[in-house]
Amino acid sequence: MSIFTKVGQWISKVWKSLKDNTDTVAIAITEEVQAGLKSGTLTSLAQIVEDVLPTSGKLPEQVVADLQVAVPKILAFELAVQGLPDNPTAADIQAFETNILTAFGLSNDHSKLWTTLAAQVYGIIKADVDSGVKYTFAQCVIDVESAYNAYVQDLQNQQSGS
């Protein structure tokens, strides 16, 4: 079992008991980890650990690689939890879009597509909950990834003129 599976299971258990502003703190922490990955700080730290502790092998490097894969998914999940109330309005979805764009440092070149992505995430999550799927952290990540893949497919279809 990987460390991220264990962390995901722990977050899943803890997530149920979170209150008020904890989502904001979680998002801030995840954004800082993402900034460390983008700036190369975490990669440099991993290299230092490997140099100082040669017995660690490539473990620090692997942790950084795993973080690069996991952090965007975790951040997307956190933003979805924070940004979409029950039965969101168009303004709620627009705010969700703005939060995602800001968190990932993206420009608003494809506003309609981002709004569509937000609506897809909400629709998939709501359909799962309404159909009685036991909703866990892992299921939410799967749903967000599913919406993202549908978004990418839509974007490719639009670009190819299909």
pLDDT tens-digit map of 136-145? 878 888 888 8
Contact of 148 with 76, CB cutoff 8 Å = yes
Residue 73 — pLDDT band, cuts 50, 70, 90?
Answer: confident
pLDDT at site 122: 78
95-99 LR contacts (CB < 8 Å, sep 24+):
none
Cα separation of 77 and 146, whole Å?
A: 12
Global confidence as pTM? 0.44
* 14 pLDDT higher than 80: no
Contacts of 121 (CB under 8 A, 6+ apart): 76, 80, 84, 143, 144, 147
pLDDT tens-digit profile of 109-154? 555 666 667 777 778 888 888 888 887 878 888 888 888 787 778 7
* 155 pLDDT higher than 70: yes
pLDDT tens-digit profile of 74-91? 887 777 667 666 666 667
Average pLDDT over residues 24-52: 84
Cα separation of 104 and 55, whole Å?
A: 35
Contact of 24 with 32, CB cutoff 8 Å = no
pLDDT at site 58: 81
Q: What proportion of the chain, given as a percentage, has pLDDT over 90? A: 0
**Half-sphere exposure in the Cβ direction for 67 (13 Å, CA):** 21
**Sign of the Cα pseudo-torsion (146, 18, 20, 33, in order):** negative
Cα separation of 117 and 100, whole Å?
A: 10
Distance of CA 69 to the CA centre of its chain: 10
Inter-CA distances, 4 with 8, 64, 82, 139, Å:
6, 12, 22, 15
Q: What proportion of the chain, given as a percentage, has pLDDT over 70? A: 75
* 13 pLDDT higher than 70: no
Average pLDDT over residues 104-110: 62
